[in-house]
Structure 1
Amino acid sequence: MSSKASSGKGNAKNKNAKAGEKTEADIIQEQKEEIKKLKLRIETLERYMVLRSEQTQKARASEMEMKSKLSQLDEDFEKEKMERFHIASDMIRQYKALQKTLIEKLNASEQKNTSLADQLHLAKVALHEVKKEKDQIIEMKQREIEEQRQKMQSMVVEFSNMLKETLAKMGNTIQQEKEFQDDSTYNLVNNSRLLDFIPPEMIQNLKMQANAPPLPSTSHPTITTSK
């Protein structure tokens, strides 16, 4: 009833209001419309806030996921980097070890080649010395042989001359013996002289011939010579 009374009063006031002026009801209606608009706006803002909150949560979740993935990627990257570092270090270590081994083998080969070259040089020098010594020995032996040959030739010539001289003297002596066979004293003297010119070997040969059976008077004694 009070509302009816108030509405009645309002109507009365509206009736009493001047034309073109807002009544209290209009103002209230406008306020209600404004409040309604504000409520709609608040609801919109709340829905927007909820949406933004959800988006923020999703963004945070996505950010966390991205951070987790990034952290995992960083971890994987560091792990792979360490693995590659270890692999590279191992390869470098193997390369250095292989390089060291090859250098040692190369040095050993160079030392061996140097040693073999030195040995070859020493062997050549020794061979040259041996050849030189051998040539000197051969030359010395050849000189000795030549000297012996010359001595033998000289001795042969000397013996041949002595033999010729002896034969000539013996021939003269034999001729003289034929002429003076009756003179024994002369024969003894000539025989003693003849002995001075005859070598001892020939004297021994003559003695052996003297003890042999007598030969005919027309024959001459034969003397053999050996070269």
Structure 2
Amino acid sequence: MGGKKKPNKGKGDAEDKYDPAQMTIILQAQVQSLKERLVLEQERKDKSRSTEETIRQREREMCESLEEQQKKTKLVVNEMTEQYKRMEKDLQEKIGKLHNQVTGQEDNITQLKHDLTRLNNEKEEMISTKDEEIRELKKRIDEMSSDFAEMLKDTLTKMQERIEFANKQWEDDNDANMLKKFEEMASGR
């Protein structure tokens, strides 16, 4: 564009110089070219600024959004922390109640075991006492059986004696009666 022209060798000085009208046209063309370049550079600069402004606007929006999200997150974290603390407190109370129940049940179990041991001891004592009573009663039954057997023997002996006596008497009476009848039969013939 604004380059120097090489001098023509062999031609005169008049050709080396430009005509002022041509120079004006050339300079105007260069000015026009520079103006267009300036316009293009201005447009590029404006576009860059517009893009930069858009990016900055987005950055501001993102920062605002981030701050809003951070606030929401903080609120949620605080709420969750409070819920967690309430739940922990409730669970600790339940654990305390259940621990008390367990302790109470363990005390009951200990008392029941003690009662069971006492009842087993009492049962063993009762069984021992009843076994002794049974032995005594068996002994008495055996003695009574012996006594009863002795009585039965005595009664049997007495009855046998009476039967023998009755049989003898009957035989004697029958023998005498039969003898009489025989005699009567023998004499009456």
What TM-score do the two structures reach when normalised by structure 1?
0.47
Higher relative contact order (CA 8 A, sep 6+): 2
| Partner AA of 1:105 in structure 2 | N
CA distance in 2, matches of 1:14, 1:98: 115
What is the deviation of 1:99?
1.9
Which structure 1 residue ranges, 5 or more long, are not aligned?
1-11, 146-227
Cα 1:96–1:16 change in 2 (3 A) is: closer
What TM-score do the two structures reach when normalised by structure 2?
0.55
| Partner AA of 2:21 in structure 1 | N
Counterparts of 1:107-186 in structure 2 under 5 Å? 107-130=110-133, 132=135
RMSD: 3.1
Post-superposition CA distance 1:166-187 (Å, at most 9, x none): xxxxxxxxxxxxxxxxxxxxxx
Choose from 2, 17, 20 the match for 1:13. Answer: 20
Choose from 95, 106, 109 the match for 1:92. Answer: 95
Larger Rg: 1
Once the two structures are aligned, what percentage of the paired residues are identical? 10
CA distance in 1, matches of 2:47, 2:101: 77
CA distance in 1, matches of 2:48, 2:22: 41
Post-superposition CA distance 1:63-112 (Å, at most 9, x none): 00111112222222222222332233233222222222222212211211
What is the deviation of 1:15?
2.6
Q: More helix per residue: 1 or 2?
A: 2
Choose from 48, 56, 61 the match for 1:58. Answer: 61
Choose from 87, 100, 105 the match for 1:102. Answer: 105
Cα 1:134–1:65 change in 2 (3 A) is: same
